[in-house]
Amino acid sequence: MTKEITLRKLRGHKHAHLVVITFSLLFVAIIWTALSTQMQTAKAAVSTETSVQFGKSLFAEGCSSCHGLQGEGTTDGPSLIGVGAAAVDFQVSSGRMPMATQGIQAMRKDPVYSEEEIAALAAYVATFGPGPAIPTDEQIDYTGADIGLGGELFRVNCAQCHNFAGQGGALTEGKYAPNIDLATPRQIYEAMITGPQNMPVFSEESLTPDEKRAIIAYIMALREVPNAGGLDLGRYGPVTEGLFAWTFGLGILIALAIWIGIKAK
Amino acid sequence: MSVKQSRKARALNWADDRFGGAGILRTAMNKVFPDHWSFMLGEIALYSFVILLISGTYLSFFFVPSMTEIVYNGSYVPLKGVKMTEAYASTLDISFDVRGGLLMRQIHHWAALFFLIAMTVHMLRIFFTGAFRRPREVNWVIGSLLLILGIVEGFAGYGLPDDLLSGTGLRITEGIMLAIPVVGSWVSSLVFGGEFPGTEFIPRLYIVHVLLIPGIMLALIAVHVLLVAFHKHTQFPGPGRTEKNVVGYPLMPVYMAKAGGFFFIVFGVTVFMAAIATINPVWMFGPYVPNAVGAGSQPDWYMGFLDGSTRIMPAIEFTLINYTLSLNLLIPTLVLPGIMFTLLIFYPWIEAWATGDKREHHLLDRPRNAPTRTALGVMALTFYGILWISGGNDIIAVAFGLSINAITWTLRFGLFILPAIAFVITKRICLALQRRDRDKLLHGRETGQILRLPHGEFIEIHAPISEKEKAKILSKVDIEPLALPPATDRDGVAVPQSFRKRLQAKVSHFYFGDNVPKPSAAEIEAAEHHLQEIAENVEAPSH
């Protein structure tokens, strides 16, 4: 005699809740995917229109709560009048803006906005007042730049905060100069002309465009040259070397000294 | 075979007839060394020194100790066309163009770190086991001098390549010289041959590094090792070990084989480190120019405590009748290490005076049995450790996302508070371990076996401890604190109290006042009897 399977019976099954949860999650996931693709296509469509208009809407949505509706600044964020497109491109393309939380300093993270959105935001913010424009591809083309000169300039102007290998360093009160390993040539150039966060602005008088390109060439060369001598130990200098010698080196030596003692018995 | 042997014997006889020494050699070969892994720490230092001599000699074939400026044109692309001194350029050449040069440089530098680590840890072993007591006080002093010389020697080597990091270190050294009251500027001019950096300093530093200090160290090491042989090695307490014997292996062949083998182990580990990890990447630092500096400029670890003391010292500087007094450098880099090393060198006499213990010691103390010394040692280590951490305050701030100001203030207070806490905790732990030892002697060890007696009571069975452990515990020497001199004489007349005697009695009480006395022979006998009874009782109910 076959048992009649009814919904009522199935509902009472001990694994019923698992099945229900799995299907609900799947359902939500499918709806979400469909909706978000729709949103993205919508955005892409708009970006082909006037980019300033698009930037204005993005700004109102994502930036104005801290920087004010006209970019005039509030107690939570500085005024953006006159910062220029370069500052927006640097901050947003490196993921520093929008900030994840209010803090001492904005951290580098994955960018929230797409390239078109960043361009639109930059174009919009540039209308607030004159400021440095996003450097063009020619401006940041460092091929043929003097790497040796770049190194000298890097050591005099950059290393005191960013460390000899660009690994970053501490500033006062929890502020810091970030690690620049991930910075693109454009971001490095923008950082020099806009002076983000605690960084000073390096004007055309203090570092000519050629010198800026030389610095970029040196930073890129440091990344390309393979690390001579083995593990780089973080490129922090003698602190990590000492730590490695005390833990790894002394650890091995003592273990072997004990081993010799045991062997003698 | 017999011909060969007699030929060997003839050669030895020939040598003995002309140079003598057979007697000395026999004594030396029959020397007995006790066995413990911690006795190998000094050997690591010795072998590291040998490795330093070998690798340093190789480097000296290629290093050019000159401050003449040239334009670099070697293999390291990012520095091509940069002006630099010959010292720095030759260091780059060693790293990139000399066969095996970089490996040798890294062997030399890792060996230098090991040398100082091994000396430090060896010194701690000597300190915590009381091996510095009579008759070994002078050897303690020699060891301390070796440590200080090792630090200076290491720092000289760090300064030689004339890269940005070593130049920054030398700039701070110049600052320290300038901070010496009244004569500072003259000292600096004398050392650097004029204004810093000048052109004279690297050649001078080179001779200090390759000849002067190594020469002195070699002589001191020879005396140090000879004194160990002369005094005979100390040993840990154990069965059959007394103040009058040494239990261990003869120098030939066992100890020679072990020591020789250990040399190759230390050499091997050093080469291994040098092969897998970059140390002092001078090419990344760039040449020294006085107007450049890198974030995270630190000295090697052994100078770290001085860097740290400077970093947490508040900025105090004032002018006194035309002379600037830079307390912000004077105190952390000259006064503080002066006090620290003076205490270090004279500690054997400080303790001997405080304890009134002038006897010879060849058996080592277990650290718990000298609780005050152990606690003082841990206190000093904590103090040193905080200075050390202070030296890396910026790296810590970046690595852990903390505020460097908060770290600095925490360490400023910590420097005075934490050592005191460490002292109390260590002393309490030592005394607790002493009580545990006493308990083990009187009640045996806990076996973990629970027994239920017929009337329902649960007891844990205790078993007597092994003879070896018993001998170890019984090696403890109870020292009574010195009594205060009597306040009045026989006739009740007040005696003029000697301040020194009273102080000594106070310090002695501080050292030994809360000692947990080891049980008397009678107590132990009673306890053993009692343990036996229990053992019998345990067997009885099981029938």
Amino acid A47: pLDDT: 47
Average pLDDT over residues B83-102: 96
Lowest pLDDT segment from A250-254, B20-24, B155-159, B335-339 = B20-24
Residue B540 lies in a domain: yes
Give the residue from A176, A48, A170 showing the smallest Cα distance to A116: A48
Average pLDDT over residues B90-97: 96
Q: Is omega for the bond preceding A132 within 30 degrees of 0, making it cis? A: no
Amino acid B1: pLDDT: 45
Lowest pLDDT segment from A149-163, B290-304, B521-535 = B521-535
Amino acid B31: pLDDT: 72
CB contact under 8 A, B295 and A168: yes
> What one-character-per-residue DSSP string does B147-187 give?
HHHHHHHHHHHHHTT-BHHHHHHHHHHHHHHHTSTTTHHHH
Tokens of B49: 């020194």
Which of A47 and B75 is assigned the larger pLDDT? B75
ipTM: 0.88
Q: What percent of chain B has pLDDT over 90?
A: 59
Based on the fold, state whether residues B409 and B536 are members of the same structural domain.
yes
- Residues in chain B within 8 Å Cβ distance of A162: 295
Amino acid B55: pLDDT: 97
3 state SS of A138: coil
For A206, how many CA atoms within 13 A lie in the half-sphere containing its CB? Answer: 12
Amino acid B5: pLDDT: 63
| Buried-exposed string B254-273: b where 16+ CB fall within 10 A, e elsewhere | ebeebbeebbebbbebbbeb
Average pLDDT over residues B243-249: 77
- pLDDT of residue B241 exceeding 90, the answer is no
A226 touches chain B (CB under 8 A): no
Report whether A98 contacts A63 (CB < 8 A): yes
Q: What is the mean pLDDT of chain B?
A: 89
Based on the fold, state whether residues B435 and B520 are members of the same structural domain.
yes
Based on the fold, state whether residues B420 and B540 are members of the same structural domain.
yes
Report the distance separating Cα A51 and Cα A54, nearest Å.
5
Q: Report pLDDT digits (tens) over B224-235.
A: 999 988 888 888
Lowest pLDDT segment from A106-115, B196-205, B491-500 = B491-500
Give me the domains of chain A, ranges plus CATH numbers: 50-133 (1.10.760.10)
Full domain range(s) for residue B23:
1-30
Amino acid A39: pLDDT: 63
- Nearest-Cα distance to chain A for B452, in Å, is 41
Based on the fold, state whether residues B105 and B5 are members of the same structural domain.
no
Based on the fold, state whether residues B50 and B84 are members of the same structural domain.
no
Q: How many domains does chain B have?
A: 4
One-letter identity of residue A211: E
Bridge partners, B277 (sequence order): A231
Residue B243 lies in a domain: no
CB contact under 8 A, B269 and A148: no
Residue B212 lies in a domain: no
Based on the fold, state whether residues B394 and B528 are members of the same structural domain.
yes
| Buried-exposed string B46-62: b where 16+ CB fall within 10 A, e elsewhere | bbbbebbeebbebbeee
Amino acid B338: pLDDT: 96
Lowest pLDDT segment from B22-31, B132-141, B207-216, B462-471 = B22-31
Report whether B379 contacts B422 (CB < 8 A): yes
Last residue of a domain, one of B263, B280, B297: B280
Tokens of B142: 């020699």
Residue B422 lies in a domain: yes
Q: What is the dihedral of CA B496, B502, B504, B508, to 10 degrees?
A: 140
Which residues 176-205 of A are in CB contact (within 8 Å) with B? Answer: 176-177
- Phi then psi for residue B327, to 5 deg, are -65, -25
Amino acid A19: pLDDT: 86
A244 touches chain B (CB under 8 A): yes
Tokens of B478: 């109870």
Amino acid A251: pLDDT: 95
Report whether B294 contacts A163 (CB < 8 A): yes
Amino acid B233: pLDDT: 84
Q: Quick one: how far is CA A121 from the chain centroid?
A: 18
**Which candidate from A168, A231, A261 shows the least CB-CB separation from B278?**
A231
Report the distance separating Cα B398 and Cα B408, nearest Å.
13
- Residues in chain A within 8 Å Cβ distance of B78: 147-148, 151, 218, 221-222, 225
Average pLDDT over residues B518-541: 74
Residue B125 lies in a domain: no
- Phi then psi for residue A159, to 5 deg, are -65, -30
Based on the fold, state whether residues B256 and B399 are members of the same structural domain.
no
Amino acid B13: pLDDT: 84
- Nearest-Cα distance to chain A for B184, in Å, is 28
Bridge partners, B325 (sequence order): B318
- Pairing verdict, β B249-250 and B32-33: antiparallel
Give the residue from B433, B402, B404, B412 showing the smallest Cα distance to B515: B433
Q: What is the dihedral of CA B352, B358, B363, B368, to 10 degrees?
A: -40
CB contact under 8 A, A172 and B397: no
Amino acid A48: pLDDT: 43
Which of B148 and B230 is assigned the larger pLDDT? B148
CB contact under 8 A, A148 and B117: no
Bridge partners, A143 (sequence order): none
Based on the fold, state whether residues B472 and B438 are members of the same structural domain.
yes
- Residues in chain A within 8 Å Cβ distance of B44: 253, 257
- Phi then psi for residue B481, to 5 deg, are -65, 145
Report whether B134 contacts B358 (CB < 8 A): yes
A5 touches chain B (CB under 8 A): no
Amino acid B539: pLDDT: 59
Q: Quick one: how far is CA A210 from the chain centroid?
A: 26
Which residues 481-510 of B are in CB contact (within 8 Å) with A? Answer: none
Amino acid A51: pLDDT: 83
State which of A63-67, B15-19, B145-149 shows the largest mean pLDDT. Answer: B145-149
User: In which residue are the tokens 């620049």 written?
Assistant: A180
Based on the fold, state whether residues B7 and B68 are members of the same structural domain.
no
Q: At what angle do helices A84-93 and A115-126 cross, to 10 degrees?
A: 150
Cβ-based neighbour number of residue A28 at 10 Å: 10
Amino acid B540: pLDDT: 53
CB contact under 8 A, B164 and A164: yes
Q: Tell me which chain B residue has its CA closest to the CA of residue A154.
A: B292
Residue B531 lies in a domain: yes
CB contact under 8 A, B269 and A249: yes
Q: Tell me which chain A residue has its CA closest to the CA of residue B122.
A: A254
Q: Which portions of chain A are predicted below pLDDT 70?
A: 1-5, 37-50, 263-265
Beta strands in B366-505 (DSSP E): 445-452, 458-463
Based on the fold, state whether residues B273 and B394 are members of the same structural domain.
no
Q: Report pLDDT digits (tens) over B456-494.
A: 999 888 888 888 888 888 888 888 888 777 777 777 777
User: In which residue are the tokens 């005075």 written?
Assistant: B416
pLDDT band at B542 (very low <50, low <70, confident <90, very high): very low
Which of B485 and B298 is assigned the larger pLDDT? B298
DSSP state of B33: E
Interface with B, mutate which of A155, A160, A223 (most B CBs under 10 A) = A155
Average pLDDT over residues B334-361: 92
Based on the fold, state whether residues B419 and B469 are members of the same structural domain.
yes
pLDDT band at B302 (very low <50, low <70, confident <90, very high): very high
Give the residue from A126, A119, A99 showing the smallest Cα distance to A43: A119
Based on the fold, state whether residues B433 and B541 are members of the same structural domain.
yes
A218 touches chain B (CB under 8 A): yes
Bridge partners, B319 (sequence order): B324
Average pLDDT over residues B95-107: 96
What is the number of residues in chain B?
Answer: 543
Residue B380 lies in a domain: yes
Report the distance separating Cα B19 and Cα B252, nearest Å.
21
Residue B116 lies in a domain: yes
